[in-house]
Amino acid sequence: SSEVLEAIENVIQGVLQSLAQKKAPVLTVANRTDWRNIEFKDSVGLQMIPGCTTKQIRSDCPQSARRFALMLKILSMIYKMVQSNTYATKRDIYYSDTLLFGSQSVVDQIINDISCMLKIPRRSLHVLSTTKGFVAGNLSYTEEDGTKVNCTCSATAVTVPSNVQGIKNLTSHAKFILIVEKDATFQRLLDDDFFSKVSPCIMITGRGIPDLNTRLLVRKLWDSFQIPIFTLMDADPHGVEIMCVYKYGSVSMSFEAHHLTVPSVKWLGLLPSDLKRLNICKDALIPFTKQDENKLASIQKRPYIACQPLWKKELEIMAASKLKAEIQVLTSVSSDYLSRVYLPNKLQFGGWL
């Protein structure tokens, strides 16, 4: 915490020095959305390059003066929280003054900018993000406040903890981890008692694009157990994008890649080649939109696809057919086909990429 306080004090000292010299204070942040600032490393995923381009948030410029003020406001809130050892969610910060901040996304972006500027992970800034992910299966752990959580005996899923860093005593006999894109599929597998029928496993869903805590938990489970991690996604560009976030990370959070990515993640399904192999009726598939075409084209150009020839092939099949499919399409074969046939066969015969 002294490191965090010192980093914030250095920023404020810079602002005061500028004022003393009668200069307009400026905050310098890395340009987090520019692909030119990102390098791809097989062992880490997408990470920010050391000498990346920056942008200045000036206090004397009408376009950025408001943002400059909001950054100082949030820095002061973080400073107080670290000093008093209290925590707040991004939502709490937004609701402390909704008129001032204007929207939740403004708060989210500024917190990420501050984290990147100070080179300090968000959790160390005492800012928690609200969790939307769920975990179930063969896993138990102790939360930071001493609460014991057992995901094995619960018929319903457990919410991913909001302070993943603080959980300890993780125990599991799981043979693998299954990341499920959608809540509906996750619930279906839970109802079918999938995680105890095939072999003990841990199931996680980020319910779409995963939040920070879900990604941190996947990484923590990988560090703790070193067991295979499989993904079950829709056979569409959006599903592929989500899988890439777990495996390689995202451009906007590339400055924290080391804590968030798991490059060993495997693509279990739904593969575009599965649709032909299983004779899925064309009527059950959904035609691409223009947005899907653009998204797929952008994914195909990314640096990590070049080192994944089998993924590349699957994306080419998808691009050629211009058709996409949700995991639910498997119910057109039979209602419990996913948990009874599809997943057990894939896991037994190594049907992943």
Q: Report, as residue numbers or ranges, the catalytic residues.
A: 95
3-state secondary structure of 169: strand
Token readout for 322 is 């211009």
Residue (of 12, 10, 54) closest to 32 by Cα position: 54
- Is the CB of residue 218 less than 8 Å from the CB of residue 179? yes
* 3 state SS for 219-283: HHHHHHHCCCEEEECCECHHHHHHHHHHHHCCCCCHHHHHHHCCCCCEEEECCHHHHHHCCCCHH
Phi, psi of 323 (to 5 degrees): -130, 145
Q: Which DSSP symbol is given to 129?
A: P
Residue (of 275, 271, 244, 249) closest to 260 by Cα position: 249
Residue (of 268, 267, 289, 276) closest to 329 by Cα position: 276
How many angstroms separate the Cα of 146 from the Cα of each of 12, 129, 134? 37, 20, 20
Q: Where are the beta strands (DSSP E) in the chain?
A: 26-30, 38-41, 45-48, 54-58, 88-89, 127-128, 134-137, 140-142, 148-150, 158-159, 168-171, 176-180, 201-205, 229-232, 266-269, 286-287, 323-324
Task: Kindly report the number of other CB atoms within 10 A of residue 41's CB atom.
Answer: 14
Cα gap 207→134, rounded to integer Å: 8
